[in-house]
């Protein structure tokens, strides 16, 4: 689990924005959005459970698109591959149901 900070409304508890790495970063964002009028907002530390899922099987159209994308990115880096393989790994956290 990683620590993150979230901003919510004090009154209703509605989530405004989350994913801040520090309390300071959250307050800086609040001030940028709302100026000095930040009464009524709460910045809270929240533990998030990061999960990972891997994708490896795709239909023909998706395989063609992904292969072309990977090949172009390799060429952008100055790499001219004879062949390559790839997999997609996604890190995510689930939203709590309201």
Q: How many residues does the chain have?
A: 98
Cα angle value 91/6/20 (rounded, 5°): 60
CA–CA distances in Å: residue 86 to residues 46, 52, 68, 69:
34, 16, 11, 11
pLDDT tens figures, 54-98: 888 889 999 999 999 999 999 999 999 999 998 898 877 776 655
pLDDT tens figures, 23-52: 999 999 999 999 988 899 999 887 667 778
> Between 34 and 2, where is the model more confident?
34
Q: What is the dihedral of CA 10, 12, 17, 22, to 10 degrees?
A: 30
**Which helix (H) or strand (E) segment is 49 a member of?**
none
pTM: predicted TM-score of the whole model, two decimal places: 0.46
């Amino acid at each position: 689990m990683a620590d993150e900070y979230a901003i919510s409304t004090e009154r209703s508890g509605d989530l405004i924005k989350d994913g801040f790495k520090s309390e300071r970063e959250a307050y800086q964002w609040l001030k940028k959005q709302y100026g000095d009028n930040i009464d009524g907002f709460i910045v809270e530390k929240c533990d998030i459970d990061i999960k990972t899922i891997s994708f490896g099987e795709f239909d023909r159209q998706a395989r063609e698109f992904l292969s072309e994308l990977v090949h172009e990115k390799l060429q952008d880096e100055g790499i001219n591959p004879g062949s390559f393989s790839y997999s997609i790994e996604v890190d995510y956290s689930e939203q709590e149901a309201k």
